[in-house]
Amino acid sequence: MQVGHLTNIQRDNIKYLLQTHTQIKHFKTLPDDFAKGIGKGQVIENVLNSVDEGKIDFEEFKSWLALHQINGNNSFYVYELRTHTVTEGMLRNLQTYIGSITYDITGCSVDNLKETVLVNFFLNVEEKRGIFTFLSPATVMKKVRMDNTVQYIPEKQIYYANVIVDYGLGWLIVSINPTTNMISVDNNEKNKNGFEPIANYYLVKMRDIIGEFTIKTPNWVPQALDLLAEEGTHHNNPEITAEYMKAIPCIEDTVVQLLSDFELDDPSALAYVSEEFKLAFESVLIDKYGVNEEATCSFRVFELKGDQHNSVVYVGAKVGSLNEGRVAKVAKATRANADLTQLGIEYNRENDTYRFYISLCDDYYLIKSNSTKFTNEGVIRDVIIKLGEYKEQIQSIAIGKSTD
């Protein structure tokens, strides 16, 4: 029996997606009148009824149903496109025939979804990006209690993936949910790098749709993370800067004298002891004069991982950030002598705080939350833009050509 615009099958399929994937906060992007109710079950019923009665435009709703999963608890795999690999013209052209390669999201169910399908394409010319939404068949291990024992059984699910082609900034971003107990997505299994094989799989799917494109290793990321960490942990107190600058000649003279007294004349010893002395001195100046909280940037650093080729250093703050105290000194020394391969940052935006990790991987960098806090994609976009600014800064002043 068909009620209104939706068939029973469509209604069941939409209900499944909303029940299994949608959080209450996702509904806030729908008009209030259509997504009201107490509890998720009632909200879903109201949304379905609104669609059924035509209160919400069906095509607009389908677009929302596809796109809403871009917000939430996703991990973002950021690949750098080689210059001009993907252009606005290509995506505009794609838009003219996208309908012929897109599946109706309301027709997808756990039972009939046998392979990955594209269900939506959204071109945002203003933001210079196109967003592709895929649904894939997936298998998760579900925890089941049976006769006082806990067992895990495989269960089929539908898995969402959004791929953002940011032709303005030159990124291709795979946004996927790091679902607990996930076994595989369209027969692609996780490995020790987590969901990396699954993110790479969506690159392959994208090549099927938009044609060949090339990505390049974002080898500027450790340097950008260093700049971000420096900005995010800086004391921003001119008093400290003034005192520190005044002390530098004195520190250097003292270190030279000390090493000379013990016949340690290697320039590297001088550089090392001097560096440690300066860091310690700056640290005690921070203790005395304090960090200028008002001037501190909206990013703070709570953890970092430095790779020194034959060693690894982790520094983290369980509470607060790496702005002051002994831990700040260790973090700064680590940054000075190692490539940062992971940074834990806290971002304050619109009176809300988000914590996530930025990690450098082989041919992409990853932004993933360190909690299950609902995060709008715009928050992650801010971070990507910030890193892009650092990239420009690094590449504009570096000597020598880059092989792009």
Partner 1 sequence: MANIKNKFNLSPLASQRINDFITSLRPNDTISSSLFARKTGLTIDFAKMVLGELVADEIMEYYIIVPCSNPIEDAEHYVVFFSLEDLNHCSTEKKCAVCDQCGHEFDAINAKFGYRRRVAENNNG
List residues near partner 1 by CB under 8 A. 191-193, 219-220, 222-223, 226, 266-269, 271-272, 307-310, 337-339, 362, 395, 397-403
Residue 343 CB, shortest distance to partner 1, in Å, is 15
With respect to partner 1, which residue has the nearer C-beta, 71 or 75? 75
- Measuring CA to CA, which residue among 361, 362, 404, 364 is closest to residue 384? 364
With respect to partner 1, which residue has the nearer C-beta, 11 or 332? 332
First-last CA distance in the chain = 59
Read off the amino acid at residue 25: K
3-state secondary structure of 220: coil
C-alpha span between 61 and 44 (Å, rounded): 13
With respect to partner 1, which residue has the nearer C-beta, 280 or 394? 394
Instruction: Please state, as a whole number, how many other Cβ atoms lie within 10 Å of the Cβ of residue 363.
Output: 16
- Distance set, CA 40 to CA 21, 50, 180, 195, 280 (Å): 12, 15, 21, 29, 54
Residue 137 CB, shortest distance to partner 1, in Å, is 24
C-alpha span between 283 and 290 (Å, rounded): 10
Residue 42 CB, shortest distance to partner 1, in Å, is 41
Beta strands in 181-319 (DSSP E): 182-185, 188-189, 215-216, 299-307, 312-316
Residue 36 CB, shortest distance to partner 1, in Å, is 44
Residue 391 CB, shortest distance to partner 1, in Å, is 12
With respect to partner 1, which residue has the nearer C-beta, 135 or 225? 225
Name the strand (E) or helix (H) holding 380.
helix 377-397
With respect to partner 1, which residue has the nearer C-beta, 219 or 260? 219
With respect to partner 1, which residue has the nearer C-beta, 209 or 215? 215
Residue 192 CB, shortest distance to partner 1, in Å, is 4
